[in-house]
Amino acid sequence: MKNILFIVGSLREGSFNYQMAEQAEQVLAEKAKVSYLDWSQVPMFNQDLETPVLPAVQAVRDAVEAADAIWIFSPVYNFSIPGSIKNLLDWLSRAKDLSDTTGVSVFQDKVTTVSLVANGGTDQTAEIYRNLLPFIRTNFVDEVTTSRVNDSAWADGQFVAEQETLEQLNKQADALLAALAD
């Protein structure tokens, strides 16, 4: 089975994007092995911190390198990518060997895809990922699932995916697995 690494772009306990990732995990059950990236210790990017490679940075690089594909679950902040997840992607986009900054990163040709849970700005943020992920040389699977936050979730914390969302998640999972079979 292929290894799919989930990157949940919210560190918030009870994150709706984390709950969406759990739905995707169920969709992938029996089809792929899923793990979640712990990126909570990655510092703010600073070129002065690149060498020697920090343990927290090495850990996320190793996890990405070991995965067959990456599935990002992202909130929308101010109609854009949250700075925290952009920071992580910036770290991971850097060349493994900095003697040539144009060299390969752990993202080189990695199959990636994105889902978003938010109420406003999902289209704009999906468009940013559509540009960013190929730019950092990943093999982007454009079957983006977007979901609104159900009204009751703001009160009880429980994200409930609509049927249409679950259908699109299934389609996205199939497209991701098909990209890995190529």
Ligand X SMILES: Cc1cc2nc3c(=O)[nH]c(=O)nc-3n(C[C@H](O)[C@H](O)[C@H](O)COP(=O)(O)O)c2cc1C
CB of residue 58 to ligand X, shortest distance in Å: 26
In one-letter notation, the amino acid at residue 93 is S
Which residue, 101 or 124, is less far from ligand X as judged by CB? 124
CB of residue 168 to ligand X, shortest distance in Å: 18
CB of residue 74 to ligand X, shortest distance in Å: 8
Structure tokens of 25? 């995990």
Q: Which residue has the tokens 């911190």?
A: 49
Structure tokens of 70? 């990456």
Which residue, 32 or 72, is less far from ligand X as judged by CB? 72
Which residue, 117 or 176, is less far from ligand X as judged by CB? 117
Q: Give residues with Cβ within 8 angstroms of 101, minimum separation 6.
A: 94, 95
Task: By CB under 6 A, name the binding residues for ligand X.
Answer: 10, 12, 15-17, 75-79, 117-121
CB of residue 115 to ligand X, shortest distance in Å: 11
In one-letter notation, the amino acid at residue 133 is L
Q: Which residue has the tokens 């914390």?
A: 157
